[in-house]
Structure formats: structure tokens, C-alpha cells
A and B are shown apart, each in its own frame.
Chain A
Amino acid sequence: MNRATKSLLGAAVALVLAVSAGADNKFDYCLLCHGANANGNAGIRAPKLSGMEPWYLTRQLENFAAGVRGTPGGDDSGHEMGPVGWRVKHENVLGDAVSFIGGLPSAKPVATVTGDVKHGKQLYAACAACHGAKGQGNEQLNSPALAARSDWYLVTQLKNFRAGLRGADERDTYGAQMRAVVATLADDKAVADVVAYINTL
């Protein structure tokens, strides 16, 4: 199956599920924090979810539910998400939640991060291998898309990886890989630069 067919099929499946999952208010609490159409809310540090790959959403909800993500001190937003992951898992609606998000129209996020795009481009070389030259992501490599995400969220997560607030749990294999790569970003400026570049993708 080529990529276009796959994504088309994915969209169709998501649409069908969205109709059934969206028949009530079950997942309105996702939109409460993550904003209208889950396009993100910086006011509550809840990132844009619409447009995120279902496989990635699933994995992260599983991580939150299991305490792989959102447990070390200092990651307040992650802590808030922890019990929500636990709930969707324990109410057996994790798949429905992912489908619900998949059925929402994704809007282009507003850029909020500024930095040295030229320098960011150089730094991005280390990211491109897994996340793709256009930041489109690569499921085979377990790498989510970076383009068209909440940019402030990318900054937070890069800092979290660096500080060991994410990816430090031994069960988080892919997070551990990110922790290793993120070491190439020397400081907060480097983080801002690379995200400023991602904004151009």
C-alpha cells in the first residue's frame, strides 16, 4: 500500500469512528484542555492533538496510563495528563479517544517560538534522519511528525527530554532514544532555534 492510499484509508476509518464516538459528550473533556478541535491551548499547556498520528497518540496515552510519562517531579502538565491517560485506559476507551481526535479538523497552529532559523536548520540535520526532512514523521522509526505541532510544546518536550522529565523511565524505549539525540542541543537557545526552523517546514 503506498502512503497516499494508506493515509486516505486512515482518514476514512477515522471519520467512521468519529461519527460513532462523537455521538455523545464522552470525549468533550479532551477539548476542555486541548481546545476547540483539539488545536491546543497554551493557556493550560495542553498541546495540539488534532493531526497527531493515531499510533503516536495511542502510545502516549498508554505511557501516561502506565506512568511511563508524566511522573517525575517538575512536569506539571504531564502530571495532569497522567490520570486522564489512566482513565481512558481503564474505561477501555483509549481507542475511541484516539479515533475521536483523529476525526477533528486540524488547523495550522500559530507560531509562537522565535529563534535563529539558519542555525536551527543545521541542528535539525540530527532530527531529520528519524522525523523526516519535512518533519513529516516516520512510523517505521517510531518518530512522530514535528511539523504543524504546537511549537511551544516542542520546546517543552525537548527541555523535558534534556532534563530527564521525559524518556527517563526504563520502559520508555523511544523516549530514551530521544534523550540521547537531544544532547546535541546545547542550550535553550539551540532548542528555540531548531523549533523555529521546524516552524518553517
Chain B
Amino acid sequence: MGAKLSRRDFLQLAGAVGGSNAVFRAAMGLGLLAPVARASKPELAKPAKPRKVLILGAGISGLTAAYELNKAGYEVQVLEASFRAGGRNMTVRNGDRIDETGYQQVCNFDKDPDLYFNCGPARIPGHHQNLLNYCKELDVELEPFINDNRNAWVQDDAMFGGKPIRAREYMSDSRGFVAELMSKSMKPEQFAAPLTAEDYERLREYMKYLGTLDPSFKYAGTSNAGLAKHDYTNPDVLKTPLDGRELLKSKFMAIMNFGETDDQAAMMMEPVGGMDRVPAGFMRKIGHLVQLESQVQKIQVLPKGVEVTYRRNGEYTKVKADYVINCIPMHLLAGIEHNFAKEHAAGFLAVPRGKLFKIGLQMKQRFWEDEGIYGGISWTTQDIQQIWYPAHGIHRKKGVVLAAYTFDPNAGEKFARLAPADRIKLAIEQGSKIHPKYGDYVETGVTVAWHQMNHMLGCAAQWDEELWKKWFTKLQAPQGAHYLVGDQVSYHPGWQEGAMASAHHAIADIDARERAAGKAVHA
């Protein structure tokens, strides 16, 4: 190519050849765009002197820290209170124990690699770079996870008498209804920014595409809402648009963009065989450093190092370490003896604990596939809130469906108060509004009330803007050689990526201290 390309020409050319992804990569190369996410993993130096780090908790943050510090040459010991590693990253299969403080359960799914249930994290977005890097490094095989399925159902007692409709109908018809109203009623003078006649026309065009309106700006239905029937030997017949006023009665409007949000948009992934392949991958490397069933009772920050007392088989043992990385949920840490500064410890009581609740049901038949649903989520305004259909094991006989996943703490409480069999009964009752013969397919189930699970007693910390402003820095700041970590000390609670970022933050600080100390020795 003889003529010198301008930057813009180059990007256009790259787009023509390689599509938008090529443009994106090229633009990144030219320094025009920030990368989507940057892994936070620090490069650790080998400590100049032998250093022991005691890690409290073998959840994702603890395992991450243990793995990296061990690799860098630190002596590492991990104390885990539970009988299992992984923390809230928990997958259950045939025979697994669900250790709720009150109601103990055993998972009775058939013994089958596709019949598992991710009780905690269940999906990974493409920009969770730390987690994805670890999956790669630890040979955790990934497959696509279907989060958003327009063929799935939306059910709300407030609209159409509670009759479920396809998500694609809700979204297309409500957008059509709103776009038609807006494009017919909006006037240039209503906008704060001055619009030229051309701007205004473009805006109307945009509304036309947004709502799939006809040339006269009328919404007359769209194939986006699904055809009346899929008979490809005859002309397409559109569904009659649903009554827009009825659609707007549904609270589904608040969640309809769920599959477009930063962490929930395609392409999502999950480990083949269950999310607990992630901790299993870490455990393959550092499992020998993890001591289970060891519950911490006391933490004393010393002038140098930290002393921890734990209880195992009824015996109390003291361990001293140069550093402690503490992943214990703050609301439990509040009940452990310690000598932290008041302004640090007060934060443990300030941030409320989450109360998410999930149910997994083994279905004897993958009936949802007969309804054209392969993976994804149906939404309801009932307490169960969601039904997830597995995207793995398609066309096999059975499958495990997520039959409840509550975000509202009151709904979580409501389920948690019931005995497991009654929780399942309630979930079946509610699910039957979406799939009429739902209960007939249920063989067995598991229920997970995170705020009643042993060693957890809560889900993601419930931060808000005020709390973050007031407490985050105080909680993140080390107490001597003691670091509080976990997704609870991140701006991404409830995600493994947040846990990893927090662990990285702490080990980077330890590394900096050790490097500084090493220099002092050599000077």
C-alpha cells in the first residue's frame, strides 16, 4: 500500500476486514481505548527472609492468596472452618452434604456428570480477567453459559391474569408500544439540547428501530416477538402485539435489561462440570497447605506479626505468623476475640450481610426443551424470582433446574424459615405458574439459604454508596500485619473476581513491605 493511511482510514479498513472486534483491537493497539479489564495480579518477589503467611478461610480470596504466595516462596498455611474448601463457590452432586446450621441436607441427585447444582457463583463474564486467567492456568475447562434467553418466560400476576408470556414478547411489544407513543408525541422543543431538524429526524429514526415501528411510526408487531407459528412452507404470520398498557403493569420492566448489564451480558461462561472446578483447581496445587475444620476463635495483632487461636476437634491451638490474610465474613469476625482498632472493627457491624437463597431441582425430563427453551432464565415476580435451565447436557434425559434465586432478602427469609421439603413445595407451587406440570417432573432437590449456611451465615456484603464512603478504606487498611480480604472488601461483592482483586491487593501490599524490608537489610 503506497499512500500513507490516516488513523481513521486504518480503523475503517480493519473494520471492513475483521469486523468490529478487529477495530477494537486495533484501536487498543493505537492507545485509543482502555482495555476492558486489567488483571490485578501483582508480580511477587521472593521474600528476602523466610516469611510465614497464615490465611484464614479457603474461599476464593484465600485460595488465590495462598496459591500466589506459595508460588513466590512464602511459607503458607490455610485454616478453613468448614469440612470443605471453596467458600461460597459450592457445587453439589450426588451424596454431597449441605451444611446448614439447622437443617442439614444431602444432595440426592443421580450420579451423573451433568446433574449438579451451583449453589453460589454460577457464571463468569468475559471481562473477569483474573478468574479467567486462573481458569486457564489451573486447567479449568470452560463452556458457554446462557444467561439471557428471549424464549424463556416472564410471569407476573399483575399482567394478563398471571399468564406467562415469552420474554421476547414482553420486550418487543413493550418497546414497540413505548417507541410509537414517544415518536408520535415528542417535539424538538421538549429537549434541553437544541435539536436541528436533521437531529430530530434521526431521533425519530432511532425510535423506529428501537421499537421496530412501521414507516408510519406505528407498532404493528414484529418477528422479534416470535412468529405466531414457525411454518416455513407458508408466509410468516406475526403474533398480534400484546396490550402495551397491560405490559407496563409488570415489574419485569425493572429486570428486563438484566442480560445487558456489565456482568451479565453475553458472552458468559461456566466451568464444565460445575463452578467448584475453580477451587478444585487451586486445591490441586495447594491443597496440602489447607487444614479443614479449624475454626478461628481469637486473633491478636502483635507488634510484629499476628497470633491466631483456632479450635479443631475441641482442641485450641495457637499459630504465629508474620502476616495474616483474613477472609472470614465480617459479620462472623465480629464475634471472634481480637485486638483490632475500634474504627476498623466497628465496620464489621456496619455492613449488612446478604441473604440470597437458591433451590436446585432434578427434573426427570428436560420439559423446557420441548418449549423451545435451551438454557437461560425465566423471570417471575413471585418469591422464587427465577428459573434457570441448564445449557449443559442438552437433549439428555434429565437436568437440574435452578428453581429459586431470590435477590430480595425478605423472600430469602421467607424460604429460609421453612424446612427444606416445604421450601421445595413452595418453589414448585410458584414454578407451576410458569410451567403448568412443573411438579410432575421433580425428582429431588436441594435448598441453600446462604444466611443460614454453616461458616457463612450470609452472602455478599450489602454495601451501598454511604457505607463504601464511610468504611471501605478503614476495613481495607491492614491492622499491623493483618489484612481483611474477600469479595466483602472489594467494590465487586458477590463475584469471585472481587474476591481475587481483594486478595491481590493484600498480597501486593505484603510484597511491597517485604521488598522495603529486604532493601533495608541489604543497605
Residues of A within 8 A of B (CB): 22-25, 28-29, 31-37, 39-44, 46, 71, 76, 79-80, 82-87
A79 to B413, Cβ gap below 8 A? yes
List 21 A–B pairs whose Cβ atoms lie within 8 Å, in order of A's numbering.
A24-B314, A25-B314, A31-B297, A32-B81, A33-B101, A33-B332, A33-B457, A34-B335, A35-B336, A36-B335, A37-B337, A39-B335, A41-B332, A42-B349, A43-B349, A44-B335, A44-B458, A76-B413, A79-B413, A79-B417, A80-B416
Contact residues in A for B81 (Cβ distance below 8 Å): 28, 32
Nearest-Cβ distance from residue A5 to partner chain B, whole angstroms: 29
A87 to B457, Cβ gap below 8 A? no
B333 to A84, Cβ gap below 8 A? no
Tell me the nearest residue of chain B to A19, going by C-beta.
B314
Contact residues in A for B293 (Cβ distance below 8 Å): 25
Contact residues in A for B417 (Cβ distance below 8 Å): 71, 79, 82
B104 within 8 A of A: yes
B348 within 8 A of A: yes
Tell me the nearest residue of chain A to B103, going by C-beta.
A83
Nearest-Cβ distance from residue A78 to partner chain B, whole angstroms: 10
B413 to A25, Cβ gap below 8 A? no
Nearest-Cβ distance from residue B85 to partner chain A, whole angstroms: 16
Q: How many residues of B contact A (CB 8 A)?
A: 35
A44 to B102, Cβ gap below 8 A? no
Q: A32-B81, A32-B455, A40-B335 are in contact. Are A83 and B100 (CB under 8 A)?
A: yes
Kindly state the separation between the CA atoms of A31 and B104 in the bound complex, as whole angstroms.
17
B311 to A43, Cβ gap below 8 A? no
A25 to B348, Cβ gap below 8 A? no
B515 within 8 A of A: no
Kindly state the separation between the CA atoms of A42 and B353 in the bound complex, as whole angstroms.
12
Contact residues in A for B101 (Cβ distance below 8 Å): 29, 32-33, 80, 83-84, 87
Q: A28-B295, A37-B297, A41-B334 are in contact. Are A80 and B314 (CB under 8 A)?
A: no
Q: A25-B293, A36-B297, A44-B353 are in contact. Are A83 and B332 (CB under 8 A)?
A: no
Kindly state the separation between the CA atoms of A22 and B315 in the bound complex, as whole angstroms.
8
Which residues of chain B from 96 to 139 have a CB within 8 Å of any chain A CB? 100-104
Kindly state the separation between the CA atoms of A42 and B311 in the bound complex, as whole angstroms.
21
A25 to B332, Cβ gap below 8 A? no
A33 to B335, Cβ gap below 8 A? yes
Nearest-Cβ distance from residue B488 to partner chain A, whole angstroms: 12
B344 within 8 A of A: no
Q: Which of A25, A35, A39, A79 contacts B416 (CB 8 A)?
A: A79
A31 to B295, Cβ gap below 8 A? yes
B313 within 8 A of A: yes
Q: Which of A24, A34, A83 contacts B452 (CB 8 A)?
A: A83
Tell me the nearest residue of chain A to B352, going by C-beta.
A43
Contact residues in A for B313 (Cβ distance below 8 Å): 23-25
Kindly state the separation between the CA atoms of A13 and B221 in the bound complex, as whole angstroms.
79
A35-B334, A39-B335 are known; give 4 further A-B pairs, CB within 8 A.
A34-B335, A35-B335, A80-B452, A83-B101
Nearest-Cβ distance from residue A140 to partner chain B, whole angstroms: 32
Q: A79-B413, A83-B100, A87-B103 are in contact. Are A22 and B335 (CB under 8 A)?
A: no
Kindly state the separation between the CA atoms of A23 and B314 in the bound complex, as whole angstroms.
5
Main secondary structure of the interface of A (DSSP, over half): helix
Kindly state the separation between the CA atoms of A32 and B57 in the bound complex, as whole angstroms.
13
Contact residues in B for A80 (Cβ distance below 8 Å): 101-102, 416, 451-452
Kindly state the separation between the CA atoms of A29 and B102 in the bound complex, as whole angstroms.
9
Which residues of chain B from 332 to 375 have a CB within 8 Å of any chain A CB? 332-337, 348-349, 353
B278 within 8 A of A: no
Contact with A along B133-147 (1 / 0, CB 8 A): 000000000000000
Residues of B within 8 A of A (CB): 81, 100-104, 293, 295, 297-298, 311-314, 330-337, 348-349, 353, 413, 416-417, 419, 451-452, 454-455, 457-458
- Interface core residue of A34, A40, A44, A84 (most chain B CB under 10 Å): A44
Contact residues in A for B312 (Cβ distance below 8 Å): 25
Q: Which of B102, B314, B331, B454 contacts A43 (CB 8 A)?
A: B331
Contact residues in B for A41 (Cβ distance below 8 Å): 331-332, 334-335
Kindly state the separation between the CA atoms of A165 and B136 in the bound complex, as whole angstroms.
52
Q: Which of B102, B103, B104, B311 contacts A28 (CB 8 A)?
A: B311
Contact residues in A for B413 (Cβ distance below 8 Å): 76, 79
Kindly state the separation between the CA atoms of A76 and B449 in the bound complex, as whole angstroms.
13
Kindly state the separation between the CA atoms of A155 and B353 in the bound complex, as whole angstroms.
21
Tell me the nearest residue of chain B to A31, going by C-beta.
B295
Contact residues in B for A24 (Cβ distance below 8 Å): 313-314
Give the top 8 A-B pairs by smallest Cβ distance, nearest first: A83-B102, A35-B335, A41-B335, A43-B334, A22-B314, A43-B331, A36-B297, A84-B102
Q: Which of B335, B348, B452, B454 contacts A46 (CB 8 A)?
A: B335
Nearest-Cβ distance from residue A168 to partner chain B, whole angstroms: 17
Contact residues in B for A87 (Cβ distance below 8 Å): 101-104
B452 to A43, Cβ gap below 8 A? no
Q: A36-B337, A87-B103 are in contact. Are A44 and B295 (CB under 8 A)?
A: no
Nearest-Cβ distance from residue B306 to partner chain A, whole angstroms: 16
Nearest-Cβ distance from residue A64 to partner chain B, whole angstroms: 9
Contact residues in A for B295 (Cβ distance below 8 Å): 25, 28, 31-32
Nearest-Cβ distance from residue A155 to partner chain B, whole angstroms: 15
- Interface core residue of B102, B334, B419, B454 (most chain A CB under 10 Å): B102
Nearest-Cβ distance from residue B101 to partner chain A, whole angstroms: 5
Nearest-Cβ distance from residue A190 to partner chain B, whole angstroms: 25
Contact residues in A for B335 (Cβ distance below 8 Å): 31, 33-36, 39-41, 43-44, 46
Kindly state the separation between the CA atoms of A86 and B353 in the bound complex, as whole angstroms.
24
Contact residues in A for B100 (Cβ distance below 8 Å): 83
Nearest-Cβ distance from residue B385 to partner chain A, whole angstroms: 20
Kindly state the separation between the CA atoms of A42 and B454 in the bound complex, as whole angstroms.
17
Nearest-Cβ distance from residue A110 to partner chain B, whole angstroms: 11
